[in-house]
Amino acid sequence: MIRHGKSQFNEKKRVTCAEFESWVDNYNASGVHRQANYPPETLLKITSADVLITSDLKRSIDSAAILHPEGKTISHSLFRETELPTLHAKHLSIRLKPSTWAVFLRLLWFGGYSNACESVSEAKGRAEKATEQLITYAKESQSVAIVGHGFFNRFISKELQRQGWKGKKKSGTKHWSCTTYTWSE
């Protein structure tokens, strides 16, 4: 399980809540920065996988292409990042950094507010389906790599562990990090 690279979209100016929705759209439409070097374990895992899966978001697809240019990928919306809720605060003119809005909205989301996006329980249900799909691929192909997203990868990780899979601690940096899971009976 690999987290995508750092987004090319780097706009950090303060925005209103309404403007933050456009910021998220731009972030989702952006690719990722190339680096001079990538974590060796991440490269080994992705190039040796029999199946390579990405979400259907550009930063996930581009990250897989950078890490394994010859790899054939399966891209699916099932593996998308969890969304952030929207606030209908058109009259709220407070301007915050996008990272601050993201934290604030994520906290609201974990607290049960899910306006215009899937709820936490729905995201966990989607993670169960994604995990079942990964397990099916693993049974058929032995080795599967997924280039995904921070929060959703954590949901999948928890579901894999719940089902008896053992994970090896992340290697690499925040972006491009790799977590390996194996089945143990």
Residue 177 pLDDT class (50, 70, 90 cuts): confident
Residue-range domain boundaries for the chain: 2-182
Give the mean pLDDT of the chain. 92
Examine the pLDDT at 185 and tell me if it is beyond 60.
no
- List, as one string, the DSSP characters of 95-161: -B-HHHHHHHHHHHHHTT--TTS--HHHHHHHHHHHHHHHHHHHHHHS-EEEEE-HHHHHHHHHHHH
Torsion angle in degrees (nearest 10) through CA of 55, 57, 111, 100: 140
What is the predicted pLDDT for the residue at 172? 62
Task: Report domain 2-182's class.
Answer: alpha beta
What is the predicted pLDDT for the residue at 109? 97
- In sequence order, which residues have a C-beta less than 8 Å from that of residue 98 and are 6 or more positions away? 11, 12, 15, 20, 23, 27
Nearest CA-CA partner of 152 in 82, 52, 54, 55:
82
pLDDT tens-digit map of 19-77: 999 999 999 999 999 999 999 999 999 999 999 999 999 999 999 999 999 999 999 99
Residue 151 pLDDT class (50, 70, 90 cuts): very high
What is the predicted pLDDT for the residue at 90? 67
What is the predicted pLDDT for the residue at 169? 72
Examine the pLDDT at 92 and tell me if it is beyond 90.
no
